[in-house]
Structure 1
């Protein structure tokens, strides 16, 4: 699985970065043996051991020996557990073995009897720094989709994920899904008091099912606030992991779950016909939906099928006429940038990042705007869409590692990022937009209409058949209405309040 990581703004931002030059207080050093010590530095555990020294004869034509480093730096983020067993101190951590893989390793030293009391105090300090505000010994319900990743999910769990959970002293309960929709049934029946996390070894489909299963519980709002839903990236679409953890590496994602911070997540009620579905990722009508769902017959092309599908529709200048009305909260790009930037310094408690709904009320929160069968809300603004080329609403920034469609998206601002683009723009502009998605620069393109909304209604017209994608799943090609519930769901993220994606920044004087 090709992967990369994206640094966040939290104190544990890069689990692979060593900090050998960090300063540390002498009182945070634990002597272990004659020539070794363990020191709590600013952001790393420093292991000093003269036994690391080895002689090399590769310098100066092999005439002068040199000494290797006598220290090893282990970032606190990578420390999984530490304990004193008899006279041995054992520290388990996630060791970086390649750019995108970590494996469980350990440091083991003898602690003399006079140091035993201090060692226990020192271990407490180590674990405090290693976990910060993150919950220790998480109780994790693991759901494995055995069909994900061309059948590799089970293998990846056993090799890359389970050892990290075990080393971190997490309690895990594993169950395999047997058919589409099985995770909905499992989540609906789960005892939310017994687990802190539901982790899906899958693509984005299983988290979608889990949210909807929790949404079917009698105490749905409370259940969704109690249990964090996370993804262990084992599918072809791993958007949730990219946004939450900045990776599609199974082992790094497992480490991020161990250290992850509880984060409220906006969920969106989609009403269509007489049904109500929860969406956590995105909704699309037009080019994106067709490129995603309309190219299933050429999956053999891999990711190239998306490029092919897009180019075919651009050449045809395909349009998708519809009636569209939205509840606009932030209308201009300049104001959107300011709102995004302000969130960087917002570290409000988790309770303040949720909506005003009562979690003790049975079922899901009441719909403020009614359903698709209700009259159009008076505060929805009609948007001319007879020449619509693409309608895309996102709750997360990255739809794929190189697809930063919604660079201003925030986990719990109570708003969707809504993008519309006309289908009759020039082919050159359309292709430039496609290429600009990768670096996020398409946000500033004049023909890209980008707004923050809290609800919308869309009615396709002029077409009898087509594609509507909700969280990557195909829905009936008919009108639907969306409404955002601020902070209704719960996930784990590295920062606790931001996505791991390149976001937008405000520019002085820019108002649109």
Structure 2
């Protein structure tokens, strides 16, 4: 419903149009005709005012709905003269100019038309393009036609003149853009990408995310919702939040940079298994998950980790990361960590020991080893790890020890149904700044490593039997690195605090004010 107000002073008008002046996106002049002019005349007649001439402004602002989505609002301000219109235009424009330095002026937009929903182009044209046009943001739009084209565009194209790079697609598109941007930045600085302890340089370009995938975890964690309008508005207004990034190395070779999740065991097996059913589309993950759950494998390995030394925030905190988060606000850049003198050769089973430089080590059999950089919340998994932060310089390392199918099902249900998976006695969680994983194969009676996966195996010409257990034990799994498969089980992971700046504000839910027609006399 349109509302009408008489606002005798420009300062009052600015306050009534939008309580937070920074939320004014744009102002446009127009002629009052049709329904707006008729409403203005009726309003003037009821209040004994002269019928205003057909001069008006359209003020575009933003508000936050109760669901957490940001809305674009249009306020029609009918003025009594062209002089008054011009005065009001200059006043509101001056308000916008106070914040224009924070807002992007030129963006590279990369659209993946084959993202999870196959609607990348449609989503951009319907929800995003108009917001960028109103904010007078110049855009160069590229629609990818083959795999890795987004990487090629970021790595090879001249980026001078851009204020940021916007990806329209799923999490895979975002990861591709971020990996390319980080590699290009480090290469230009002549840094060794294969050195796990190198201090990486933050790119000068911010990254924008328009969700058009199947899960859109990163968009959900950085805005609180999965909504292209919310993301577009926060990009246009220049909001910015720092995201932690993990570098993943194998034998001093960079595998990739990750933004949200690393999973070994169950979640690695699911992605690996799903490759056999690509013809099923996104449904393949459900089938692969069922098959891997029924298999219920566990894996031998040794995890060493460097615990977080800031005890003001823990994985058990009740307060979630949100806009203006105090935990993330004052964090500095990544400081290289000393690797320590960690001995991973045949430690005692299921023990935790201290090693040099405060590293700790855990050895045993695990159904899953998960590392969450973000809370990994989505519509499909509303639980996630709610205490994880966007930019605290840590990951939450979750170790799910060998357990029965029923116990592991309970863990999965806790994640998917907004429960707390951390209070299960077979689940450990550690907030860490770095961690390493190394496989430790089972040995036969003669001390030789044996290939596992069956109850009866042959080693050195003799038959070796593994006792029946609650879970079958296999030699190695694959790593799920932000949805990409890595068959290198032994990895070295380091967290780089707020290495990437993203156009976003952080999750926030407040009540906004509605739009309406404002008559100014």
Tell me the TM-score normalised to structure 2 length.
Answer: 0.69
Q: What corresponds to 1:226 in structure 2?
A: 204
SS at match of 2:116: helix
RMSD value, Cα:
4.3
Describe the shift of the 1:45–1:414 C-alpha distance in structure 2 as closer, same or farther (beyond 3 A).
closer
1:392 to 354, 360, 370: 370
2:322 and 2:293 map into 1 onto residues whose CA distance is 36
For 1:51, the equivalent position in structure 2 comes to none
The reply on whether 1:91 has 2:59 as its aligned counterpart is yes
Query: Is the aligned partner of 1:181 residue 2:148?
Result: yes
Matched, 1:107 2:76: yes
For 2:303 and 2:501, the matched residues in 1 are separated by 30
Query: What is the alpha-carbon distance in structure 1 between the residues aligned to residue 274 and residue 310 of structure 2?
Result: 33
Asked if the contact 2:269/2:478 (under 8 Å) is kept, the reply is yes
Q: Is the 8 A contact 2:402 2:426 kept in 1?
A: no
User: Which residue of structure 2 aligns with residue 120 of structure 1?
Assistant: 89
Aligned to 2:407: 429
Q: Which has the larger radius of gyration?
A: 2
CA separation of 1:310/1:374 partners in 2, compared to 1, >3 Å: closer, same or farther?
closer
Task: Tell me, yes or no, if the aligned pair for 2:18 and 2:61 is still in contact at 8 Å.
Answer: no
Name the CA shift for 1:312/1:346 in 2 (closer, same or farther; >3 Å).
closer
The corresponding residue for 1:478 is 489
Q: Matched residues in 1 for 2:174 and 2:223: separation? A: 15
Moved more, 162-171 or 216-225: 216-225
Contact 1:140 1:199 in 2 (8 A): yes
Alignment match of 1:40 (pick from 12, 15, 20): 15
Counterpart among 279, 290, 299 of residue 258 in structure 2: 279
1: distance between equivalents of 2:343 and 2:181?
Answer: 24
Helix, strand or coil: the match of 2:150?
helix
Give me the whole-angstrom Cα distance separating, in 1, the residues matched to 2:70 and 2:276: 33
Higher RCO by CA contacts (8 Å cutoff, separation 6 or greater) = 2
**Alignment-derived partner of residue 224 in structure 2:** 246
- Separation in 1 of the partners of 2:234 and 2:324? 22
Instruction: After TM superposition, give the deviation of residue 106 of structure 1 in Å.
Output: 6.7
Q: 1:246 to 1:299 in 2, by over 3 A?
A: farther
Q: CA deviation at 1:78?
A: 6.9
- C-alpha spacing 1:373/1:336, structure 2 compared with 1 (3 Å): closer
Shift in Å, 1:449: 1.2
- Corresponding position of 1:490: 501
Deviation at 1:342, TM superposition (A): 9.6
Are the aligned partners of 2:62 and 2:70 in contact in 1 as well (CA < 8 Å)?
no
Q: State how far apart, in whole Å, the 1-side matches of 2:312 and 2:410 are.
A: 19
1:76 and 1:111 map into 2 onto residues whose CA distance is 24
Aligned residue for 2:122, secondary structure, equals helix
One of 13, 16, 26 as aligned partner of 1:81: 26
Matched, 1:369 2:347: no
**Partners of 1:278 and 1:19 in 2: how far apart?**
49
Q: Would you say the 8 A contact 1:266–1:412 is kept in 2?
A: yes
What secondary structure is seen at the aligned counterpart in 2 of 1:393? Answer: strand
Q: Which structure 2 segments of 5+ residues have no match? A: 32-54, 192-198, 346-354, 442-473, 510-521
Aligned 8 A contact 2:181 2:203 in 1: no
SS at match of 1:140: strand
* Contact 1:82 1:89 survives alignment (8 Å): yes
Measure, in 2, the Cα distance between the counterparts of 1:444 and 1:316: 25
8 Å Cα contact 2:10/2:88 also seen in 1:
no
**Separation (CA, whole Å) in 1 of partners of 2:492 and 2:99:** 41
Residues 384 and 194 of structure 1: is their aligned pair in 2 closer, same or farther, counting only changes over 3 Å? same
TM-score, normalising length: structure 1: 0.70
For the structure 1 residues 330 and 286, does the alpha-carbon distance in structure 2 shift closer, same or farther, using more than 3 Å as the test?
A: farther
CA distance in 1 between counterparts of 2:321 and 2:110 reads: 36
- Greater CA drift, 397-406 or 230-239: 397-406
Instruction: Tell me which residue corresponds to 1:65.
Output: none
- How has the CA–CA distance of structure 1 residues 478 and 429 changed in structure 2, closer, same or farther, with 3 Å as cutoff? closer
| 1:353 alignment partner, one of 320, 331, 355 | 331
1:433-467 Cα deviation digits (max 9, x unpaired):
21211314223333321111111111234456632
CA distance in structure 2 between the aligned counterparts of 1:279 and 1:121, rounded to whole angstroms: 46
Shift in alpha-carbon separation, 1:427–1:200, aligned structure 2, 3 A: same
Q: How far, CA to CA, are the matches of 1:402 and 1:301 in structure 2? A: 18
Q: C-alpha separation between the residues in 1 aligned to 2:2 and 2:372?
A: 37
